[in-house]
Amino acid sequence: MKKLSGKIALVTGAGQGVGQGIALSLAKEGALVAVAGRTLRKCEETCEQIQELGGKSIAISMDVKDPKSLSTGVEHVVGELGGLNILVNNAQEIALGTLNKITDEAFEAGWQSGPLATLRLMRLCYPHLKGDGVIINLASTAAKRWDMSGYGPYAAVKEATRSLSRAAACEWGPDNIRCNVVLPHAKSPSLEWWMNNNPDEAEAFVKAIPMRRVGECESDIGRVVASLCSDDMRYINGQSIAVDGGQAFMG
């Protein structure tokens, strides 16, 4: 029997990259997956891949910066699939730039799509997760960089997500809801763009990874998330786990 058979999962930003890799991994372990994202066609393409694997999924158009869209999306998942056991908050607009150059609008978008959207979705899903729920929030090791220049705003919103996750683990643990954080290095479209546009820094970045490679969205990141959602990891709660080939030290 697959580890997540009968479980129902909602994954945001699952139309591509890390979110897609997570959705595929959850489906391979038997979960019914609600694939959510701003671009419905991309979500449908992820669903098609899941169906080719013999899994079941639905595509949902969801703008994580829109509270109404979040509420409608959760209602749709619960109504269509019959409940909710797993929430993965992956969608995030990236706010990169130095402190003097980052615009208020870019930082606000990072905040709204990151920690604020995460908090909203966790609260919306809370009633459905009580009893056997798992929340996985995606953050970043950016705050542990050797040089934080240009990464302060991005790291700030990701660290806020980590703090909210720790609070959820403590406050909702008595309800048998676990909340953990995964901090990945993966070949997402955004990271590939950054590496292509910053070749010298990207070379140094890869050299700083002990395993000397960037992770795969599904086989490296998705599988970790699927494992964390299973009963094999039922006593892991409130942790931030860097899935980055050993680059960051999260102590």
Question: Is 151 known to be catalytic?
Answer: no
Q: Are 139 and 183 in contact (CB under 8 A)?
A: yes
Q: Are 26 and 217 in contact (CB under 8 A)?
A: no
Candidates 126, 151, 154, 235; catalytic one: 154
> What one-character DSSP code corresponds to residue 222?
I
CB neighbours of residue 36 within 10 Å: 33
Tell me the C-alpha to C-alpha distance, in Å, between residue 27 and each of 56, 96, 99, 117, 144: 7, 32, 41, 24, 32
CB neighbours of residue 117 within 10 Å: 25
> Helices marked H in 53-140 — which ranges?
67-81, 104-111, 117-129
CB neighbours of residue 134 within 10 Å: 26
- Among residues 173, 128, 183, the alpha carbon closest in space to that of 7 is found at 128
List the catalytic residues.
Answer: 154
